[in-house]
Amino acid sequence: MVTPGDAPFLANMALPLEVGSRTQRILVVDDDEPMRRTLLRLLAAPDRAVEETDSVEGTLRMLAAQSYDLILLDYRLPDGDGLAVLDWLSEHERGELVVMLSGEDAIDAAIGALRRGADDFVRKPYRLSQLNRAVDNALLKTRLQRSNREMGQRLQESERLHRYLVESSPDLIFTLDPAGRFTYVNPRIEGLLGFARADLEGEAFSSIVSAEDTARIVQLFENPLQPARTAHSLELRLASRKVGSGPPTVSLNTEPMYGRGDERNGARFMGTYGVARDISDRKRAEEIIAFQAYHDQLTRLPNRALFRDRLDLAIAQTDRRKGSLAVLFIDVDRFKLVNDTYGHSQGDQLLRSIANRLRQTLRRGDTLARVGGDEFLALLPDITHPEDVQAICQKILDALRAPFRLQHGEFSATVSIGIAMFQKDGESADMLTQHADIAMYQAKRSGKNGFCFFDSSLNHNYRERISLENDLRKAIDRGELELFYQAQVSIAKRRVVGTEALLRWRHPAHGLLGPDTFIPLAEEAGLISGISNWVIDAACAQLRDWRDIGFSELRMSVNLSPRDFEHGEIVETVRRSIAHHRLDAASLDLEITESLMMQDAGSVRGKVQALREAGVGVAIDDFGTGYSALAYLQKFPVSSLKIDRGFVRDLNGKSSPIIAAITGIARGFGLQVVAEGVEHQGQIEHLRSLGCDTLQGYLFSKPVPAEEAESLFLEIPSGLPA
């Protein structure tokens, strides 16, 4: 880090040092003007600047204004002698070289001049060659002195620069002797580890290394039999004395240091130079990235990739030991209800809580992973008997019995578990996971909140299911979907007043299939919206045809899936179809399930309200079989209730308090009532006595194609009392 005090030093570092030749300045001091002129001509050269003066006073004035490389100084001057100039140069610590010129014969003059600092003494009269030699020697000496000064300055500045860089480096820089002991360490040691520099002098490098890495450092740098004579690069953890600070991880690079040795032994090993860079932040970032790549961020459990790696390894180990392992596919039942009812944040909280309970039920060596929204995988290695897996699965179910506390209340969560065993159910990770998934769906079909082992027959059913799904995707384009119609009869009017459109699929290989066979598959595969759109349009088109031939009061009922209200624009689809076929909206009834009403979702309620405002009737199908409450009937603007066939079947000549309650509720809310499943004339009288006028069932007609249904509209339905 550069501090304000470093600025002048760094500024000096930025200035280039003066190198090469420069103009040499010479001052000639003599009161003999012809002699001065002669010297000026003699000394003239392109790289010289020669000036002149004739007195001590003039000389000192010129020296005060400027420095010179060489002074040719006459001993005797009008206002004193040259010794005064030498004294002035000495007092002011000047560096000019002086060649004294004198006509004095006495040796004392020469000795005095040399003692006072003159570099040479030339006695007058002198030969030109003698003077030239003295001048050249003096100028050479000047150049050498200047070169030495510049070199010394360079060395000094270079040393200051390198010391500054080392002392201010963010890296730990050190030198070791051949035995691996510190001979130098920069101040970074104090900030990085909390060690005082003075305390480390002569200490082994291993004294600052974490215990986990001490052994290899001792082997590298403190081994007397094999000192570190080669460069090394490695990562290691250091020991820290700083409170609340963990051991930092550093990237260490070292180089051996050699000095001059004798001719017999060659270079002499002097020790080790090293640089350690703190990479703790980078290592932490790498660990975070690695964790995120292989773990689920919500539950902190392994994700599918890490689970796959562990399962592959477990399969290889189990195969060598001729043992067995199990894969559990765990799916949370009714999880979507939590998201839709309480929001995704509460759903996330529930998933975290479920993950914690699942983790606590598994053994130490087991692996639990989250692989989907509400899906988990568990790896159970070292399984001896299938009963061991059953015990763990039962433990999981028991652990989830206690309700989970969410922000808006408690929620009881259950799971369905599918089990696949190695090698019986598969020998690869993909096959075991797939078969556990298939078994999980079987557990759901068996009532949920349980577990199921994979069976080969399940795989056959699964493949058939996939094949059926692929065929269903093409059914509309191939024209394989059909509508059958079942009449709705009015006792009072003694005629057909409506008909319910019932979907059938004429499969090219399996024949005519009912909706129970493929509608759940369509809902799961996301195909129901397209199918419902087709049903609505086909039913409206058929009603238009019947009205055009005279059945002007006939009503049409169409079943909708709860998924139609979750996705897509069901309201716009109905409006568009009614408008396209020029129908009165009141002639169409849409049947919804009690479960849809119980969701109490604002978007669902809003769509039902929009349909009613458009004039379309909305009926609750199979009313009474779910958990409907009167509050929901107040919230949802439905127009009629359909009594489930199970209640009608139970009449058998007896009155039904349930049907009486339903008809009473309908009268209280001003709703129409339709009874399904009428098969005997005795049921008609009971229903009529309870206030139910519109009936539907096999007594009047089975679901039939449009041509057969049309003939029923022209006659009095069979089975009505006379």
User: Per-residue pLDDT tens for 244-273?
Assistant: 777 899 999 999 988 876 545 667 888 899
Domain at 228, CATH number: 3.30.450.20
Inside any domain, residue 205: yes
Q: Which of 255, 699, 196 is nearest to 486 (CA)?
A: 699
Domain at 599, CATH number: 3.20.20.450
Inside any domain, residue 245: yes
Domain at 146, CATH number: 3.40.50.2300
Q: What b-and-e string marks burial along 10-30, b requiring 16 or more CB atoms within 10 Å of the CB?
A: eeeeeeeeeeeeeebbbbbbb
Residue finishing a domain among 263, 284, 305 = 284
User: Per-residue pLDDT tens for 364-384?
Assistant: 999 999 998 899 999 999 998
At 567 the pLDDT is: 65
At 480 the pLDDT is: 94
pLDDT at 654 over 70: no
> What residue ranges in 438-582 does DSSP mark as E strands?
450-453, 481-490, 495-507, 511-513, 555-559
**Average pLDDT over the chain, rounded to an integer:** 86
**Are 278 and 381 part of one and the same domain?**
no
> Contact 496/713 with Cβ under 8 angstroms?
yes
User: Per-residue pLDDT tens for 165-216?
Assistant: 888 889 999 999 988 899 999 999 988 888 998 889 899 999 999 988 888 8
Inside any domain, residue 116: yes
User: Per-residue pLDDT tens for 70-101?
Assistant: 898 888 889 988 889 999 998 998 888 898 88
At 631 the pLDDT is: 61
419 forms bridges with which residues in the sheet?
328, 453
**Are 303 and 264 part of one and the same domain?**
no
Q: Cα torsion at 492, 494, 496, 498 (round to 10°)? A: 0
User: Hunting for tokens 């797939």 — which residue is that?
Assistant: 434
What is the number of domains present in the chain? 4
**Are 309 and 280 part of one and the same domain?**
no
271 or 568: whose pLDDT is higher?
A: 271
**Are 138 and 182 part of one and the same domain?**
no
Residues of the chain with pLDDT > 90, as a percent, come to 41
Supply angle C-alpha 331, 337, 340, rounded to 5.
Answer: 125
> Contact 48/136 with Cβ under 8 angstroms?
no
Residue span of the structural domain in which 223 resides: 169-284
Q: Residue 342: how many CB atoms within 10 A of its CB?
A: 17
At 418 the pLDDT is: 95
**Are 108 and 239 part of one and the same domain?**
no
Residue finishing a domain among 96, 119, 152 = 152
**Are 245 and 131 part of one and the same domain?**
no
Q: How confident is the model at residue 652 (pLDDT cuts 50, 70, 90)?
A: low
Inside any domain, residue 264: yes
pLDDT at 10 over 80: no
**Are 678 and 580 part of one and the same domain?**
yes
Q: How confident is the model at residue 7 (pLDDT cuts 50, 70, 90)?
A: very low
At 163 the pLDDT is: 81
User: Per-residue pLDDT tens for 141-162?
Assistant: 877 877 787 787 888 888 888 7
Residue finishing a domain among 255, 284, 313 = 284
Q: How confident is the model at residue 387 (pLDDT cuts 50, 70, 90)?
A: very high
**Mean pLDDT for the stretch of residues 49-66:** 91
User: Per-residue pLDDT tens for 491-507?
Assistant: 989 999 999 999 999 99
At 598 the pLDDT is: 64
Of 133-137, 436-440, 529-533, the poorest mean pLDDT is in 133-137
Inside any domain, residue 164: no
Inside any domain, residue 462: no
User: Hunting for tokens 């002198």 — which residue is that?
Assistant: 126
**Are 649 and 533 part of one and the same domain?**
yes
**Are 252 and 185 part of one and the same domain?**
yes
> DSSP H helical segments within 650-713, as ranges?
657-669, 681-689, 706-712
- Quote the tokens at residue 548: 């055009």
**Mean pLDDT for the stretch of residues 19-48:** 82
**Are 331 and 188 part of one and the same domain?**
no
Q: What b-and-e string marks burial along 123-157, b requiring 16 or more CB atoms within 10 Å of the CB?
A: eeeeeeeebeebbeebbeebeeeeeeeeeeeeeee
At 261 the pLDDT is: 66
**Mean pLDDT for the stretch of residues 668-675:** 88
At 459 the pLDDT is: 64
pLDDT at 3 over 50: no
263 or 114: whose pLDDT is higher?
A: 114
At 461 the pLDDT is: 65
Domain at 406, CATH number: 3.30.70.270
**Are 305 and 226 part of one and the same domain?**
no
**Are 450 and 363 part of one and the same domain?**
yes
User: Hunting for tokens 């919230």 — which residue is that?
Assistant: 635
Inside any domain, residue 62: yes
